[in-house]
Amino acid sequence: MFFDRYPRFYETSDIQTSRVQMNLRHEAIIAQHRDAFAGARVIDIASHDGRWSFAALEAGAADVLGIEGRESLVADAYVNLAQYGADESRYRFIAGDVFAVMAGEALQADVVMCLGFLYHTTRYNELLHHIRSTGARILIIDTEIVQGIEPFVSLRTENVERQGNAVLDPYAVDGRMLVGRPSLPATATMLEAYGYAIDRLSDWRAILRDNDTDRTVRVYAEGRRVTVRAVRRHTAP
């Protein structure tokens, strides 16, 4: 189990999760896509306490840039990676609004990780425009979805005070953010509009074969959350 070797990541987050969930997500997000990370420049959107940035480095990424809206989590990320001996020249974290940071810096990447973020926003066209601008050839998304065969988005609001919810942005009113859960067909449609196509879904059925009793992975077992690998389509010059 990957995170059993790095237990600090069990402690530097207020999000209710479990050891089982974190390690199974590592299998789905990192291990099943290890080929994508070898020698890659990686951007980690909503990088939290640095857990997935660190995992990408351990999988062979050349360097990682994490963008996180909560300054306390960025501070935790730096401490965590330093504690585990990561080469400080290979990682950097920026505390700030994801959209403002990506709009304000000329970022380049081979792989973009968008983990636990897509269902905390409705600014999909802006997000995918910025991702495409990095030149990334692979996009790995882990997200809650609405089940259905039509491309639609289910809307709701979130209180930004909870660490696991959306981060306050200039469009929020009274500390609440409008967010949406896309269906898988909606996710595919959005990706297609910006030149990406779903290559494959992580095989959660196989991952859960001996671990489906943990309640925190039930969303994957029931198909309400997925891990998607999308690739950039080749276009004529």
Tell how strand 111-115 and strand 176-182 pair up: unpaired
Q: What angle do CA 115, 120, 126 make, to 5 degrees?
A: 85
Measured CA to CA, the distance from residue 77 to residue 93 in angstroms comes to 8
Task: List, for residues 124-150, the tens digit of each pLDDT value.
Answer: 999 999 999 999 999 999 999 999 999
Residue 196 lies in a domain: yes
Q: Which residue has the higher pLDDT, 213 or 185?
A: 185
Residue-level pLDDT at 212? 61
- 174: in domain: no
Average pLDDT over the chain, rounded to an integer: 93
CA distance 13 to 47: 12
Residue 173 lies in a domain: no
**Domain coverage including residue 137:** 2-149+182-232
What local confidence, expressed as pLDDT, does residue 17 receive?
77
Look at the chain and count its residues. Answer: 237
213: confidence class by pLDDT, cuts 50, 70, 90 = low
The pLDDT of residue 64: 98
Confidence of residue 161 (pLDDT cuts 50, 70, 90): confident
Q: What is the mean pLDDT of residues 99-120?
A: 96
Is 167 a member of any domain? no
**Domain total for the chain?**
1
Contact status, residue 67 vs residue 42, Cβ threshold 8 Å: no
CATH number at residue 94: 3.40.50.150
Q: Is residue 61 within 8 Å of residue 34, measured between CB atoms? A: no
- The more confidently predicted of residues 67 and 218 is 67
In a domain, 139, yes or no: yes
Tell me whether residue 73 is in a domain. yes
Average pLDDT over residues 102-107: 95
SS3 of residue 42 by DSSP: strand
Instruction: Tokens 């066209």: give the residue.
Output: 125
